[in-house]
Amino acid sequence: MVRCIVIGKDNSGKTIFCKNFSKFLHPKNKKNETLTQKNLTNYKINIKNEEIYLIDSVSIDSGIDKSERRRRERTKTLYALIEAEIIIHIIDATDFSFDGIDKYILDYGMTKDKYLVLLNKTDKIHDNNLMKNMIRTYPKINIFNISAKKRIGFNNVKTCLRHMISCDKIHRKNYFGW
């Protein structure tokens, strides 16, 4: 089992990506197999005969939330981020700047072997400068334009994940008992 976390800011499209990508990979499966564990929803998918848990994480943002429950959920998301073998970072292309929480996630992701950035909602923007700037700023990161809602770009994501899975750098670690 490979743990693949989908992380990003609030309203970036994490949940709709997880649901639609799971349906994209398994269109005949009417009932997507999900498992809610420790307030994180896992979508069980299969790529290249490898079982993957696509973890739909709680939104991450800067600042401290007033709700204790929300703070606990974010803590669990950070633990899942540390444990994940693959990180998919969803960025809302209509609301991105090179600072803030997305920048922190980008900096952390660059330290990992299996990191993928998906610029979501690119069907809503007509200017491709964001993609060009991202590639120029982060040349070693896999970056793709997608629309999670319209399922645009999912073939590229599938191909990239297939490649990441076939590489021998995935180490099965379990630091937190998940």
CATH code for position 50 = 3.40.50.300
Helix, strand, coil distribution of the chain in percent, nearest 5: 35, 25, 40
Residue 60 tokens, joined = 């991450």
In a domain, 175, yes or no: no
- Domain count for the chain, please give it: 1
Torsion of CA 154, 36, 105, 86, to 10 degrees: -60
Q: Which domain holds residue 59?
A: 2-166
Please indicate, yes or no, if residue 178 is contained in any of the structural domains: no
Q: Per-residue pLDDT for the chain (178 aa), expressed as one digit of tens each?
A: 889 999 998 889 999 999 999 999 887 765 555 555 555 788 888 887 888 889 888 877 777 767 787 778 888 888 888 999 999 999 998 887 767 888 888 889 999 989 999 999 988 887 777 788 888 888 888 999 999 999 999 999 999 999 998 875 444 443 333 3
> Is 21 part of any domain?
yes
